[in-house]
Structure 1
Amino acid sequence: MDLHREEFKKVQEASHWIKSSMPFIPKASIILGTGMSSWLDELNIIEEFKIKDVPHMVPPTVETHQGRICFTMINEVPTIILAGRLHYYEGHPMSVVVRPVRILYTLGARHLLLTNASGGLNPEFESGDIVAIRDHINLVTEHPLRGPNDDRWGPRFPDMKYAYDPDWLAYAKEKGESLGINIKSGVYAGLPGPSLETPAEYQYLYRIGADLVGMSTVPEVITARHLGMKVLALSIVTNVCYPPERIKVTTVEDVIGMVEKKAIAVGNLIQEVVSYIK
């Protein structure tokens, strides 16, 4: 059996396992990034599974990524949430990294909202800013659609002009304003990680048009768009990376700490923007 047929089979089997116990067919799907899992405590969780218990799903190893699958209603929208994601730098094949997106689609979700932590390259960005990603630059070394195309998931050459749904993004900015949150927008550069970038790399990324830099999201977004899903991505700026004189040594603890400070605000925003799907 070729690898792509095998991958399709794994997605179907994982989805069948979840479907056997899930309380509803989700319309919205959310993948929570670093530091955001605490927001789940604010929600009424109807059903929950551990990622490690689902066939062919791999639990994340990164700190604060809890490895939970939660079902909840957000503003009357049936929603599935993955508390934690896989990163390419964890050593998995790219097909494994993006498998959760294909599972979410197979379960019924047609909208995907992602959160992440990022370094800020735009000189107007500050630590703690919430940024809606409007476009990305893919610098991850392996493309999630590399190899023979599986037409059951999408076309060979999916268009990426609207990788991030502009109407949903505009809706998010409106909802942010109503909550007193200034939602900025920017271009996200996705790198493989796990090392943070050098000052020279930050300068290069800024010069090619990036406002943010991080180690996730881009493969998931490409996969979601291949499937025809609409995407919104919210990024929390955890450290300032440009200009060079503003760069400080950054630790994982710094990143997690900043996201945790903003988790409730981002969670409140998520609850509002999910209503776009009604």
Structure 2
Amino acid sequence: MWEQVQQTADFITNKTNFSPEYGVILGSGLGNFTDDIDVEYILPYSEIPNFPVSTVEGHKGALVFGTIHGKKVVAMQGRFHFYEGYDMKQVTFPVRVMKHLGVKKLIVSNASGGVNPTYKVGSIVIIKDHINFMPEHPLRGKNDERFGPRFVNMSEPYSRKMMAKTKEIASDLNIEVRDGVYLGIQGPTFETLSEYRMVKLLGADCVGMSTVPEVIVASHMGLETFGISVITDMGNEESIDTITHAEVLEAARKAEPHVRSLIKELIIQY
């Protein structure tokens, strides 16, 4: 994989002549964050060698390069999911490429189902930790020490400093945020009511189908990482009967202005 990552990073660098400090992965319904970027270059995934192509509605499928108040950023409009049929090395390939483009800090966003009774649809959750329930691990197989160590310390997968800064920003902007533990599962089905109960019993506050593999690989390569989630449905008897992907996108869309403000200010201030 090392050679593929170098090939892809070299291609992007030659195309864009851009070395970003921040990488941002935009989840379901959050793709319009790129409107906050002074865009210098847009590169569709279909033009990038070795890159998968996102197949999920709400994921546009392009790398967007530009600046936010002088900070150099590359944003992924659309991520790749294990449930789409990709293996974990493909799912996390863009994170490795970002690192080799110069990215030092990674911001990941997603939509998730809430099981914490203090949450509601539209709640914004700062991810403080995760539980990996994916059926495949992105670091399985022979380890390449050029990427990172065989055994990765996961005591702080999400930067405590970035969390604290975001909470400070949220207070200044009068945006209500929670924090919580995110549990990552394969998907693509939404959870059954019994599975939602399991998620809660395991100590998680929300559940989704992404993020965890990317954060593991970011930890492998020493990237400082921040995660944020929008609660788009609640795992209880009242809401589980009607949840659809369209409703998930709509809930994320309503929360998007606040999420965009938090991410933008975090990049500016941190």
TM-score bucket of the superposed structures, by smaller chain: over 0.9
TM-score normalised by the chain length of structure 2? 0.97
The one of 210, 214, 217 equivalent to 1:220 is: 214
Partners of 1:139 and 1:276 lie apart in 2 by 34
Structure 1 residue aligned with 2:198, among 183, 194, 204?
A: 204
| 1:245-273 per-position Cα deviation (integer Å, ceiling 9, x unaligned) | 55342000000011111222211111101
Q: Which moved more, 1:175-184 or 1:93-102?
A: 175-184
1:180 matched to 2:174? The reply is: yes
- Establish whether residue 131 from structure 1 lines up as the match of residue 125 from structure 2: yes
Contact 1:34–1:259 under 8 Å retained in 2: yes
Asked if structure 2 preserves the Cα contact closer than 8 Å seen for 1:37 and 1:84, the reply is yes
Aligned residue for 1:4? none
- Matches of 1:253 and 1:221, distance apart in 2: 26
How far is the alpha carbon of 1:64 from its aligned partner?
1.2
Contact 2:26 2:79 in 1 (8 A): yes
Within 5 Å, give how 1:25-64 maps onto structure 2: 25-64=19-58
Query: Judging changes above 3 Å, is the alpha-carbon distance between structure 1 residues 258 and 161 closer, same or farther for their aligned structure 2 residues?
Result: same
Structure 1 runs, 4 residues or longer, greater than 4 Å off:
none
Cα distance in structure 2, aligned partners of 1:130 and 1:256: 14
Structure 2 counterpart of 1:195, one-letter code: T
Pairing 1:142–2:142 present: no
* RMSD, aligned CA: 1.1
Deviation at 1:94, TM superposition (A): 0.9
User: Matched residues, percent identical?
Assistant: 39
Question: Gaps (5+ residues) in structure 1?
Answer: 1-6
3-state SS of 1:188 partner: strand
Output the amino acid matched with 1:135. D
CA deviation after TM superposition for structure 1 residue 197, in Å: 0.8
Alignment coverage as a number of residue pairs = 270
CA distance in 2, matches of 1:76, 1:41: 15
TM-score normalised by structure 1 residue count: 0.94
Q: Which residue of 2 aligns with 1:253?
A: 246
- List per-residue Cα deviations over 1:225-262 (Å, max 9, x = no partner): 000001001100001114x4553420000000111112
Q: Which moved more, 1:60-69 or 1:247-256?
A: 247-256
In structure 2, distance between residues paired with 1:104 and 1:39: 18
Amino acid at match of 1:102: R
Corresponding position of 2:107: 113
1:71 is aligned to 65
Other structure's SS at 1:141 match: coil
The reply to whether residue 168 of structure 1 matches residue 170 of structure 2 is no
Aligned pair in 2 of structure 1 residues 261, 246: CA closer, same or farther (>3 Å)? closer
Q: Given that residues 163 and 225 in structure 1 are in contact (C-alpha distance below 8 angstroms), is that contact kept between their aligned partners in structure 2?
A: yes
How far apart in 2 are the matches of 1:159 and 1:208?
21
Which secondary structure does the structure 1 equivalent of 2:15 belong to? coil
